[in-house]
């Protein structure tokens, strides 16, 4: 399928399933090499990362824990301004290598919020994996350790990513036709 329609918007194929598969295997190889002697816990950020995480971690062959967290849609107001709460972290992260698994980093607001909340739990180190990064939109200094694709600042769906809840089940990634 070269184009899909969600509501009234048209999306054109941007990354084929095979290209995604190759990138996922490349990242898995890097993780296998880099983390084999560490006490690792992967924190998969739901919902968008579910397919990426499943494909990535079935190619990760070292001992590890895997847990799933979600950003609440509720926004609390604190001294630092608006923050979203990270829900579902019940694990002890102290002294562990925590690896955040994200589908996409756009402005980086979400990632920044996740990182700040994980750091409060005193991991030994924190690594970040994202399938997609929009470099033109990214506003933070956090180093992203593993990147599948750097993509233009355009809205994409598929392979876990949604538009208004739709499109997550597509095996390719499609970008909005403006």
Q: Which of residues 155-174 bind ligand IMP (CB under 6 A)?
A: 155-157, 161
Return d(Cα 88, Cα 18) in angstroms, integer: 32
Return d(Cα 89, Cα 99) in angstroms, integer: 13
Q: Which helix (H) or strand (E) holds 157?
A: strand 156-157
**Binding status of residue 48 toward Mg ion by CB under 5 A:** yes
Active site residue 112: no
**Binding status of residue 103 toward Mg ion by CB under 5 A:** yes
Asked if 174 contacts 158 with a C-beta cutoff of 8 angstroms, the reply is yes
Q: Out of 37, 55, 95, 106, pick the active-site residue.
A: 106
- Looking at the Cβ atoms of 41 and 144, the one nearer to ligand IMP is 144
Binding mask 6-45 for ligand IMP (x = CB under 6 A): ----------------------------------------
Nearest to 101 by CA among 154, 59, 156: 59
- Asked if the bond preceding 47 is cis, omega within 30° of 0, the reply is yes
Binding residues (CB under 6 A) for ligand IMP: these are 48, 104-111, 155-157, 161
Binding residues (CB under 5 A) for Mg ion: these are 48, 103
């Amino acid at each position: 399928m070269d184009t899909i329609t969600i509501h009234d918007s048209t999306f054109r194929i941007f990354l084929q399933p095979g290209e995604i598969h190759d990138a996922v295997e490349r990242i898995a190889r890097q993780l296998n090499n880099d983390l084999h002697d560490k006490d690792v816990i992967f924190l998969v950020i739901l919902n968008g990362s579910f397919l990426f995480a499943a494909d990535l971690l079935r190619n990760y062959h070292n001992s590890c824990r895997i847990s799933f967290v979600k950003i609440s849609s509720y926004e609390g107001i604190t001294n630092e301004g608006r923050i979203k709460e990270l829900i579902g972290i019940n694990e002890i992260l102290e002294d562990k290598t925590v690896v955040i698994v994200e589908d996409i980093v756009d402005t980086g607001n979400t990632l920044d919020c996740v990182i700040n909340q994980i750091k409060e739990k005193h991991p030994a180190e924190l690594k970040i994996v994202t399938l997609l990064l929009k470099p033109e939109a990214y506003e933070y200094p956090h180093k992203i350790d593993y990147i599948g694709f750097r993509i233009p600042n355009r809205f994409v769906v598929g392979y876990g990513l949604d538009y208004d809840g739709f499109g997550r089940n597509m095996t390719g990634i499609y970008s909005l036709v403006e």
